[in-house]
Amino acid sequence: MNMMQMDEFKLTVPSKPEYVGVIRLTLAAIASRVGFDIEKIEDMKVAVAEACTNAIIHGCHCEHGKNFNIDFVSTEEKLTILVYDDGEGCYLDNIEEPDLTKPKEGGLGIFIIKSLMDDVEIKSEKGKGMMIKMIKYLGDEA
């Protein structure tokens, strides 16, 4: 049989900014075990921290007692990271591409995630939370 091995880690995380560091460490440990080099691990740490910060600030409004979720799914060829919350979500059409010729505070998180990861998929509807799926390939195929 030629079944690809798939390992899944699931975390439920309190909506507190101080736990983003814990997620970064967890991600680095998993990604290094899977075989990623330092450069790709650093890219993923930045992307995942941005996604978690969004879940905490926009999804959970840092509300006491709220949680959000992270799933790490690894195979021989890629690491998939899902960050999702059950907050208020948003209209994706309202998320503007940043104009990099006019620097401003904020509005860069999703842009950064898209530039650092190989594949990014975002799902959200107003009132139904947000899900962001990020994929990094081990090889150069992406």
Ligand X SMILES: Nc1ncnc2c1ncn2[C@@H]1O[C@H](COP(=O)(O)OP(=O)(O)OP(=O)(O)O)[C@@H](O)[C@H]1O
Footprint on this chain of ligand X (rule: CB under 6 A): 50, 54-55, 58-59, 85, 87, 89-90, 95, 106-111, 130
| 54-93 residues near Mg ion, rule: CB under 5 A | 54
How many residues would you count in the chain? 142
**Structural contact between residues 49 and 42, judged by C-beta atoms closer than 8 angstroms:** no
Among 60, 109, 117, 124, binds Mg ion (CB under 5 A): 109
Quick one: the chain helix, strand, coil %, rounded to 5?
Answer: 35, 25, 35
Mask of contacts with Mg ion, 1-40, x by CB under 5 A? ----------------------------------------
Judged by beta carbon, residue 130 or residue 138, the one nearer ligand X is: 130
Structural contact between residues 133 and 121, judged by C-beta atoms closer than 8 angstroms: yes
Binder of residue 90, out of Mg ion, ligand X, none (CB less than 5 to 8 A by kind): ligand X
- The H or E element spanning position 42 is helix 38-54
Q: Specify the DSSP element, H or E, that contains 4.
A: none
Q: Output 46 or 137, the one with its CB closest to ligand X.
A: 46
Strand 130-137's sheet: what is its strand order? 7-14, 67-74, 78-85, 130-137, 119-124
Rounded to a whole number of angstroms, the minimum distance from the CB of residue 90 to ligand X is 4
- Which spans of this chain sit near Mg ion (rule: CB under 5 A)? 54, 109
